[in-house]
Amino acid sequence: MNLEFLETPLASIDAEVTIVFLTETLLEETADETLLTQAGFKAKQDQLSLLHEKRVLYCGVEKLNADSLRSAAATAVRSLKDSNYKSAKVGQYFLKNTQALVEGFVLGYYSFDLYKSKHEASPFTELFMSAENVDGSMLDAQEVKTVVDTSKTVAEAANYVRTLVNTIPNDMTPSSLAAMAQELATQNSLTCTILDEHALETEGMHAMLAVGRASVHKPRLIHVSYKPKNPLHVISLVGKGLTYDSGGLSLKSPTSMVSMKMDKAGACAVLGILKAVSELKLPLEVHGFIGAAENMVAGNAYKPDDVLTAKNGTTIEVRNTDAEGRLVLADVLAYAQQEVQADYLFDYATLTGACMVALGPYTVGMMGHSHALKHQFSKIAASSGELLASLPFNAHLKKLLKSEIADISNVGSKPYGGAITAGMFLDRFIDDEMKQKWMHFDIAGPAYSESSWDCHPYGATGVGVRFSIAWMRSLLNAQ
């Protein structure tokens, strides 16, 4: 779908359908109230009523705020995508909500049908946004255009992540993910370095190598960099890239294995963030480090009771081979700190089901030592459309990672607080000088869904891109 901003009033735009958002109060003021009431339209959130004879699609919203408009915009564009209309137009609902509208339209239009035998293209391909506001005034065209262009770039980067995550494990192996990173680097003038299994051995990354040992698709470490002139900050992003996770010898149940293509969502989010940063030309140097591996079962698979030596020399007792993502991240975090002296270090991972138990399926778990960083991300989350919540480290949970035969165990000794103990395991691999600059994002809950919600269809959501770009832009605004 082509989303285009036009400076002209809404009435002067040539399109087949006009999209109008109504609250219950605005419903009472519209000229079509009688027709809408007869149709049973009450302006409830995400309720739709298409008056074909007037070519107007009315969409209900609880309030004229970002969350309500984003969800309603996604619902509206899905409806039009299933229609025979080719184009639509929409006005503004105050500049503060323009970002949400764009996100709703772009994210809501997305679908993944690569593996369908028949592809039916939607006739609906054009959406025009006017500078005209809901109150009839004309907003500053350049301000609106800037928000539209930025929001569109970020939303399209999230859709890029969705496609990577949705791609099946037979097609998206560690080497395939490395090839996708190289393709992005070529297209967006980034630099890309790939370390194969031999280079990983040379680097002493034995934890990551152990995880990928039983797969015919050998692990890869991917380093993608965006380096503008005179960057204001240097940021390293680390992503968990398990292109498939069977659980290893600690085998998952059959139902738990379905959708495990999503275990690379952290890695894909890192690529999506780099895509957005480079296209927005932010004055930030950003490095993406991805640990890509497949956790499979074979005669040479790593085992519970094994002791692995990570890149930083820490020895790890393996008690559960399904706690593999943290082993990969341990090595990649150490490598990232070795290669780049960053101002900030963030990791993204579908790390624990325990995070979903704690926060539900829609919220990212945020962990780290810096209260200032936590506050910044919590504050920015509301504007990004993605949900974050902080989970606290504590010394009592840290004791659960104690090993009698190695420096640390890869899982806690009690089945509680698993998201936090996973974060505290990663903390063991953060250098002292980086402790206050590091944040861990457990995206296991919102990364993938088997039912639609908000502006997300079935499948991958692209989580991580929007809140990270929002934080980076707020960092620049604070200069």
CATH number, domain of 209, equals: 3.40.630.10
pLDDT at 479 over 80: no
Q: What is the pLDDT of residue 478?
A: 84
Q: Which residues pair with 309 in a beta bridge?
A: 315
Q: What own/partner pairs with CB < 8 Å and gap ≥ 24 does 180-188 have? A: 180/271, 181/222, 181/224, 181/271, 181/288, 181/290, 184/224, 184/271, 184/274, 184/275, 185/224, 188/226, 188/274, 188/275, 188/278, 188/279
Any domain includes 162? no
Q: What's the pLDDT band for 458 if we cut at 50, 70, 90?
A: very high
pLDDT at 119 over 90: no
Q: What's the pLDDT band for 362 if we cut at 50, 70, 90?
A: very high
404 CB-near residues (< 8 Å, 6+ apart): none
Angle subtended at Cα 33 by Cα 29 and Cα 36, rounded to the nearest 5 degrees: 140
Give Cα 6 to chain centroid, integer Å. 29
- The tokens for 260 are 């495990």
What's the sign of the alpha-carbon dihedral 227, 235, 156, 461?
Answer: positive
Any domain includes 144? no
Same domain, 174 and 284: yes
CA atoms within 13 A on the CB side of 228: 18
Query: Residue range 315-337: average pLDDT?
Result: 98
* pLDDT tens-digit map of 400-450: 999 999 999 999 999 999 999 999 999 999 999 999 999 999 999 999 999
pLDDT at 253 over 90: yes
Lowest mean pLDDT among 6-15, 51-60, 114-123, 300-309: 114-123
Percent of the chain with pLDDT over 90: 98
Any domain includes 395? yes
Distance CA 343, CA 433 (A): 10
What's the sign of the alpha-carbon dihedral 308, 310, 313, 318?
Answer: negative
Any domain includes 196? yes
Q: What is the pLDDT of residue 319?
A: 98
Name the burial class of residue 389, with classes exposed (0-12), middle (13-18) and buried (19+) by CB atoms within 10 angstroms of its CB.
middle
Give Cα 286 to chain centroid, integer Å. 17
Distance CA 307, CA 405 (A): 8
Q: What is the pLDDT of residue 383?
A: 86
Any domain includes 161? no
Say which of 326, 437, 466, 473 is annotated catalytic.
326
* Cα-based distances in Å from 306 to 183, 302, 405, 406, 414: 37, 7, 10, 10, 19
Same domain, 76 and 171: no
Give Cα 233 to chain centroid, integer Å. 22
At residue 337, what are phi and psi to the nearest 5 degrees? -70, -30
Write the DSSP string, 48-63: EEEETTTTEEEEE-SS
Distance CA 390, CA 363 (A): 10
Q: What is the pLDDT of residue 44?
A: 98
pLDDT at 248 over 90: yes
Query: Residue range 10-30: average pLDDT?
Result: 97
Same domain, 411 and 318: yes
CATH number, domain of 89, equals: 3.40.220.10
Same domain, 344 and 222: yes
326 is catalytic: yes
Q: Which residues of 18-33 are buried (b: 16+ CB within 10 A; e: fewer)?
A: bbbbbbeebbeeeebe
Same domain, 106 and 194: no
Query: Residue range 37-57: average pLDDT?
Result: 97
Same domain, 93 and 214: no
Q: Which residues pair with 451 in a beta bridge?
A: none
* pLDDT tens-digit map of 199-244: 999 999 999 999 999 999 999 999 999 999 999 999 999 999 999 9
Q: What is the pLDDT of residue 333?
A: 98
Q: Which of 111, 135, 159 is the last residue of a domain?
A: 135
Same domain, 241 and 349: yes
CB 456 within 8 A of CB 374: no
pLDDT at 349 over 90: yes
Instruction: Indicate the average pLDDT of the chain.
Output: 97
| Identity of the amino acid at 449 | S
Residue 387 lies in domain: 167-477
Query: Residue range 78-106: average pLDDT?
Result: 98
Ranges assigned E (strand) in 142-183 = none
Specify the pairing of strand 459-460 against strand 448-449. Answer: antiparallel
DSSP 453: B
Distance CA 189, CA 349 (A): 26
Any domain includes 155? no
Q: What own/partner pairs with CB < 8 Å and gap ≥ 24 does 400-405 have? A: 401/425, 401/428, 403/316, 403/317, 405/307, 405/317
Distance CA 127, CA 98 (A): 14
Number of independent structural domains in the chain: 2
Query: Residue range 119-143: average pLDDT?
Result: 96
Sheet holding 438-442, edge to edge: 191-195, 220-226, 284-295, 233-245, 344-349, 438-442, 363-368, 387-390
Distance CA 355, CA 360 (A): 7
Distance CA 240, CA 321 (A): 15
Same domain, 80 and 197: no
Same domain, 72 and 176: no
CB 256 within 8 A of CB 307: no
Q: Which of 91, 118, 135 is the last residue of a domain?
A: 135
Same domain, 398 and 259: yes
Any domain includes 282? yes
At residue 266, what are phi and psi to the nearest 5 degrees? -65, -45
Q: What's the pLDDT band for 102 if we cut at 50, 70, 90?
A: very high
Say which of 86, 145, 252, 319 is annotated catalytic.
252
Same domain, 242 and 284: yes
Ranges assigned E (strand) in 183-232 = 191-195, 220-226
Q: How many helical (H) and strand (E) elements, i.e. helices and strands, does the chain have?
A: 16, 19
Same domain, 187 and 71: no
252 is catalytic: yes
